[in-house]
Amino acid sequence: MRLYVNIDHVATLREARQTDEPDPVRAAAACERAGADGITIHLREDRRHIQDADVAALSRSVHTVLNLELGAHPEIIRIAARVKPFQATLVPEKRREITTEGGLALRAGDRKLRGAIARLHDAGIRVSLFIDPSRRTIDLARALGVPAIEIHTGTYAHTWKRGPTALRQLRRAAAHAHEIGLAVHAGHGLTYQNVQPVAAIPEIEELNIGHSIVSNAVYWGLAEAVRRMKTLVETARNP
């Protein structure tokens, strides 16, 4: 199980003052030293946190792998094709949202998305699609020819205290995706309190976690926040 740390909110803090600290490059290095298997960033069209210069700097500095989240906007796709991160995760993006609110609404005939996937693939980038845990959507992702999906865990994150329905849905989705040959990733809204049942799903091979790690870094320091999350993930997998 790989833990990729999303460091967008390190840049959020910097952008709050439009200054040069905290530095995402330094934060990424601290995450890697503490055991992160990869670094995830989202270059949004509105550039509210990660900036183009961060993408360029991180693509040079990250020793593990860089997972770039992005919407299917031609300008952002062009940047990705130039920078060539190890992985690109296509996400839906709305200007006014607080964070990515749902998975991609896949349609078989979506030429914009097909074009974005082809462009990234041709640049040698592994492509993943961020989608909801629905069987139909997973089948559509498979038909689009991508090697991987990231299952949106937001509903689970909002409802896990109220019962097992969303977790069961994640389990079913992960099993189905794996069965039809997709690599399965997961993320969104995962915290120190709710991560373990998701990490225990055997078909999931990668978790993308950001807000909770960066939030708790305020109390523990970033390295310790990554170490604690990594330990939770590993013990859930190998109890």
C-alpha span between 177 and 81 (Å, rounded): 27
The pattern of x and - marking residues 129 through 158 that bind ligand PXP according to CB under 6 A reads: -x-------------------x--------
Residue 67 binds to ligand PXP (criterion: CB under 6 A) = no
Residue 70 binds to ligand PXP (criterion: CB under 6 A) = no
Closer CB to ligand PXP, 99 or 193, in the complex? 99
Q: Do β-strands 38-42 and 66-70 pair in parallel, antiparallel, or remain unpaired?
A: parallel
The least CB distance from residue 21 to ligand PXP, in Å, is 21
Which amino acid is residue 234, in one-letter code?
E
Residues whose CB is less than 8 angstroms from the CB of residue 137 and which lie 6 or more positions away in sequence, other chains included: 103, 104, 106, 131
Terminal CA-CA length for the chain: 13
C-alpha span between 162 and 62 (Å, rounded): 39
Residue 187 binds to ligand PXP (criterion: CB under 6 A) = yes
Residue 32 binds to ligand PXP (criterion: CB under 6 A) = no
Respond yes or no: is residue 42 known to be catalytic. yes
Per CB under 6 A, which region of 135-143, 194-202, 207-215, 226-234 contacts ligand PXP? 207-215
For ligand PXP, the binding residues (CB under 6 A) are 6, 8, 42, 69, 89, 91, 99-100, 130, 150, 187-190, 208-212
Q: Which residues are catalytic?
A: 42, 69, 188
